[in-house]
Amino acid sequence: MEKLKLVKVAFDMDSHEFSQGFVEVSQEHALHDYNSIIGSRMIDIVSISDDIAVIVDDEGLLVSDNPVFEIQFGQVEMQFAGTLLFASQTDTGEGLDLISIRNSDFLELADKLKLRIIGVTA
């Protein structure tokens, strides 16, 4: 079974440092893998452009000591709590499907994504 390659962005509350890297998830067990990687029970998938989506913890604001991110990507400004996963997305004609991060989307993320910590959940 093919694996999806995603970009993971997290913030270590002890060292006060961002970490990022690539992670792989099984398409067959994607939901389980997303939840395991970001430490969630439920996820949201949010489009930040026509080609890029971010996978976030649906209950991230309810979890104590989660970093709260403000992201800016082009004209889009949003706030999320917890670890973030970025994926490319494609229009199937019936909706959007997540796919491995494309090189062009990764370069666009690296160039345009502005990320800052604006707080910590209580």
pLDDT in tens, 53-86: 999 999 999 999 999 999 999 999 999 999 999 9
Report, as an integer, the average pLDDT of 86-104.
Answer: 96
CB contact at 8 A, 85 and 100 = no
Give the three-class secondary structure for 105: helix
Q: Which amino acid is at 23?
A: V
Report, as an integer, the average pLDDT of 28-42.
Answer: 97
Q: How confident is the model at residue 39 (pLDDT cuts 50, 70, 90)?
A: very high
Is pLDDT above 90 for 49?
yes
Report, as an integer, the average pLDDT of 91-107.
Answer: 95
Burial 102-117, CB ≥16 within 10 A → b, else e: beebbebbeeebebee
Is pLDDT above 90 for 34?
yes
Question: Distance between CA 26 and CA 35 in Å, rounded?
Answer: 12
DSSP state of 6: E
Is pLDDT above 80 for 1?
no
Give the HSE-up count for residue 95: Cα atoms under 13 Å, Cβ half-sphere.
3
Domain boundaries, the chain: 3-120
29: Cβ–Cβ under 8 A, 6 or more apart, which residues?
none
pLDDT given at position 2: 87
Is pLDDT above 90 for 13?
no
Model confidence, pTM = 0.94
- CA–chain centroid gap for 65, Å, is 18
